[in-house]
Structure 1
Amino acid sequence: MPKRVAKLFSDISRRGRRAEAAAFLLAALLSGTSLAQATEDTLATIANTRTITIGYREDAPPFSYRLSDGKVIGYSIDLCRRIAESVRQHLKLDKLEVVLVPSTAATRFVLVKSGKVDLECTTTTNTAERREQVAFSYPHFITATRFVSRKSDGLTSIKSLSGHSVVSTTGTINVEQLNALNRRENLNISVLLARQHADAFSMVEKGRASAFVMDGILLAALVASSEDPAAFAISEDTFGPPEPYGILMRKDDSAFKEVVNDALREVFVSGEIKEIYGKWFMSPIPPDDRNLNLPISPTLQAAFESPHEYLD
């Protein structure tokens, strides 16, 4: 990359990586460097800015969430901070600033593709369709789509949702699964959309929706942190097979992806993952010290012991 384009790219990155985008594009075109080439090299950008940006979710405990004091914590966040340290060492930087950028189910892919975040560290399911847009790290969790409802409503199966109002979070694969099954089985479900997981669960709590369809682990966390966990039931029925979560990165940046996966492999194979996992799934967690008591499943343990890309 010509020096004048590299300098301009660095300056733009310090302002949020997308400010003055028109000037950046013009400089790239004048230099003969394509926009795709100029934005692909994540490691070079991080080295120039001495900054790595991490996308986080405000309401996805225990993976990624924000406390009332503004602190961002979670299982996925811990893994991404570990990756950030590996990136720092790989680039031989004395210091690397970690900048946290809020993300939602609806904005996460745009944030990654546009370069506003280098790593999106929340609860994104790896699917073939999504891999057309972004790249995924090795899986760091495996879950399936279920529903939560009030026990008093007696909704014990997916078919029992027939004729009811059911909510899910916009921009998620769970909505797609719910809509597909609703059409296929002619269940006549009224599908409602919520912007945040907490909003959707609140609709069930207040009786505005009969059930909330989401990843089972996220439902378990919401139930555990509710005022009356015993009032809710999570379905045994699933809307599809178990699928893995991965950390999002920009597509077609193999060098950065290799550093990310190498960092995760070290965490997984060394056994460090047991401590990180235990902290978030087998111990009391903020803000109310609830314990999910969810041991590592055999499927997830196998993924940790032999890390590899999920390409199904």
Structure 2
Amino acid sequence: MTKPHLILAALCLAGAAGMSVRAQDAGAAPDAAKEPGSVAAQAQAPETPPAKAENPGSLAVATAEGGVLGKIKAAGAITLGYREAAAPFSYAADQNAAGFAVDLCGLVADKVKEKLALPELKVVWRATTDADRAALASKRDIDIDCAATPDKATLDDAAEFSAPVYASELRFVVPSKLRPEAEGFRRRRADFKTPAAIDDLKGKTVVLLQGSPGLPYVLGQSVERYLGISVAYAKTPAEAFKLVETGAAAAYLDDDAVLIGLKAGAKSPDAFLLLGTGKPGADYALVLPKDEPLKDLADAAIRDAVKSGEYEKLYAKWFENPIPPKNVTLAYPMTERLRQFVKDPAAATE
């Protein structure tokens, strides 16, 4: 892998080192109760995607039947996209589509099934990527992309976002040895938080992605606290995390939605710790074809899950308990921002 280009800068402020820079982009507990025959219970990922001619998500069929819901009703099937490696939101585990966003998608599919008065609704799973999710939704090759996509991501005019499904916070991922005094606390709670967390990075290197909204925070804190932090840039989250793994950087700042998955996929997840900043990150949502009736159902399903407490049950399942396939426990309780989201989604995501 080509080493990411490092840019180190130092400024002086009142005789102390400051900094300069710029950087972004962003990926088992008992199951929540599911009614027999519900779509939410069908998270099976096919080994190969269906042939395009047979795909119930084609634009021609949707147009003939009167939108996405008409196409779904005619086919008796809904096509859902999933990521192959974006735990805990959306990933493949034991040949199944799995994850927090996948389960939320199942609730949306159940709402569609109920609206269309279908006795059964087949689920066709199709692997998607950050690069093709919007195009597949626009062409209606998928009916919903069941992954957490930042709602600032670019979509074309034929795709849109659902209501938010996750409200992130900006966090640092650091080696656990950076905070040895937090070790006992970390075993109970993964997001050890202190207003002075950034002080631990004095004189060290922080890696950011190009265009990162976290840059002003790092720059401002470094200057205000005379920390002399240096900044490195990476092109992808994987490259940024690798810098922390190898010791080339002391920390990587990004949305917790991104960092949680990287930490979970590390060889030794316990070797890393997430430190809070108290700063909001992006809101994350499902990606849909632009179709008002479908969006209304998706938003209603998400809203109902939050109001009924199902959202919190699913969160505990995927973020606080062992998850497949290796039974890794993320031990990541809800952040303050996410608790506010559950309490008042509209206010938390304004």
Aligned letter for 2:274? I
Alignment of 1:1-312 (within 5 A): 14-15=54-55, 17=57, 41-67=67-93, 69-127=94-152, 134-150=159-175, 157=198, 166=207, 168=209, 175-177=210-212, 189-194=231-236, 201-202=241-242, 204-207=244-247, 211-237=251-277, 241-251=280-290, 253-308=291-346, 312=350
2:183 equivalent in structure 1: none
Q: Determine what percentage of the aligned residue pairs are the same residue.
A: 28
Please report how far the alpha carbon of residue 176 of structure 1 lies from its aligned counterpart in structure 2 after TM superposition: 3.0
Aligned letter for 1:59? A
2:25 equivalent in structure 1: none
Partner secondary structure for residue 322 of structure 2: coil
In structure 2, what is the Cα distance between the partners aligned to 1:126 and 1:158? 31
In structure 1, what is the Cα distance between the partners aligned to 2:73 and 2:174? 48
Please report how far the alpha carbon of residue 135 of structure 1 lies from its aligned counterpart in structure 2 after TM superposition: 2.2
Please report how far the alpha carbon of residue 202 of structure 1 lies from its aligned counterpart in structure 2 after TM superposition: 4.2
Partner secondary structure for residue 328 of structure 2: coil
1:4 equivalent in structure 2: none
Please report how far the alpha carbon of residue 75 of structure 1 lies from its aligned counterpart in structure 2 after TM superposition: 0.8
Cα 1:209–1:66 change in 2 (3 A) is farther
Partner secondary structure for residue 280 of structure 2: coil
Is residue 81–residue 144 contact of structure 2 (8 Å, CA) maintained in 1? yes
Cα 1:92–1:310 change in 2 (3 A) is farther
Partner secondary structure for residue 288 of structure 1: coil
Moved more, 111-120 or 284-293: 284-293
Is residue 57–residue 71 contact of structure 2 (8 Å, CA) maintained in 1? no
Identify which of structures 1 and 2 has the higher relative contact order when contacts are C-alpha pairs closer than 8 Å and 6+ apart.
2
Please report how far the alpha carbon of residue 151 of structure 1 lies from its aligned counterpart in structure 2 after TM superposition: 5.4
Aligned letter for 2:307? V
Is residue 69–residue 294 contact of structure 2 (8 Å, CA) maintained in 1? yes
Number of matched pairs: 276
Please report how far the alpha carbon of residue 124 of structure 1 lies from its aligned counterpart in structure 2 after TM superposition: 1.1
- CA deviation string 1:133-175 (max 9, x = no partner): 6322222221123342445689x7499699958465xxxxxx4
Please report how far the alpha carbon of residue 206 of structure 1 lies from its aligned counterpart in structure 2 after TM superposition: 3.7
Is residue 214–residue 253 contact of structure 2 (8 Å, CA) maintained in 1? no
In structure 2, what is the Cα distance between the partners aligned to 1:149 and 1:127? 26
- CA deviation string 1:285-305 (max 9, x = no partner): 123323233333454344335
More helix by share: 1
Please report how far the alpha carbon of residue 53 of structure 1 lies from its aligned counterpart in structure 2 after TM superposition: 1.5
Aligned letter for 1:57? R
In structure 2, what is the Cα distance between the partners aligned to 1:128 and 1:38? 30
Is residue 135–residue 248 contact of structure 1 (8 Å, CA) maintained in 2? yes
Aligned letter for 1:228? S
Aligned letter for 1:214? D
- CA deviation string 1:94-118 (max 9, x = no partner): 2211122222222222222222221
Is residue 146–residue 235 contact of structure 1 (8 Å, CA) maintained in 2? yes
Cα 1:151–1:280 change in 2 (3 A) is closer
Partner secondary structure for residue 177 of structure 1: coil
Aligned letter for 1:62? P
Cα 1:309–1:129 change in 2 (3 A) is farther
Cα 1:113–1:157 change in 2 (3 A) is farther
1:6 equivalent in structure 2: none
Partner secondary structure for residue 276 of structure 2: coil
Stretches of structure 1 lacking an aligned partner (at least 5 in a row): 1-10, 29-34, 169-174
In structure 2, what is the Cα distance between the partners aligned to 1:111 and 1:162? 45
Please report how far the alpha carbon of residue 76 of structure 1 lies from its aligned counterpart in structure 2 after TM superposition: 0.7
Aligned letter for 1:246? A
In structure 1, what is the Cα distance between the partners aligned to 2:64 and 2:249? 47
1:171 equivalent in structure 2: none
